[in-house]
């Protein structure tokens, strides 16, 4: 499941974007150059969610993936990476609590 998730995640991002698995089922994505056209974090989140919609088949069983995405945006150079990760984590939990949103954006 995680390998398929990672494959779909990679396929929905640019080559210049950075992806890492934090542990368990948590991944982090770093987007650079947010001022370029089409790099709006909400647009990227929707692309990721769309990529995860089709069922994943494991041992003949159809499984559904419903990710919750937390987005932390900091304009300019990152001065405190820990705070940025904390904001992304807070945004993810806000998305999990929401009945409607599957992603939440926080400005740092």
Looking at residue 16, what is its pLDDT? 86
Looking at residue 59, what is its pLDDT? 92
- Percent over 90 (pLDDT), the chain: 57
Picking from 72, 74, 71, 70, the residue whose alpha carbon sits closest to that of residue 97 is 70
pLDDT reading at 38 higher than 70: no
Please name every residue paired with 106 in a beta bridge, in sequence order, or none if there are none: 72
The average pLDDT across 35-45 equals 78
Q: How many CB atoms lie within 10 A of CB 72?
A: 21
Q: Which whole-number Å values give the CA distances from 32 to 2, 29, 44, in the listed order?
A: 24, 10, 12
Global pTM? 0.85
Give the Cα separation of 23 and 84 in Å (integer). 18
pLDDT in tens, 43-83: 889 999 999 999 999 999 999 988 999 999 887 788 898 99
Kindly list the structural domains of the chain, giving each domain's residue range(s) and its CATH number in brackets, ordered by start.
Answer: 2-107 (3.30.70.270)
């Amino acid at each position: 499941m995680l390998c398929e998730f990672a494959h779909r995640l990679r396929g929905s991002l640019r080559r210049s974007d950075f992806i890492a698995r934090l542990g368990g089922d948590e991944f982090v994505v770093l987007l650079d150059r947010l001022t370029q056209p089409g790099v709006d974090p909400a647009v990227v989140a929707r692309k990721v969610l769309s990529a995860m919609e089709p069922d994943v088949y494991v041992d003949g069983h159809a499984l559904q993936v419903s990710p919750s995405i937390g987005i932390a945006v900091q304009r300019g150079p990152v001065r405190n990476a820990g705070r940025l990760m904390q904001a992304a984590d807070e945004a993810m939990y806000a998305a999990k609590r929401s009945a409607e949103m599957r992603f939440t954006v926080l400005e740092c």
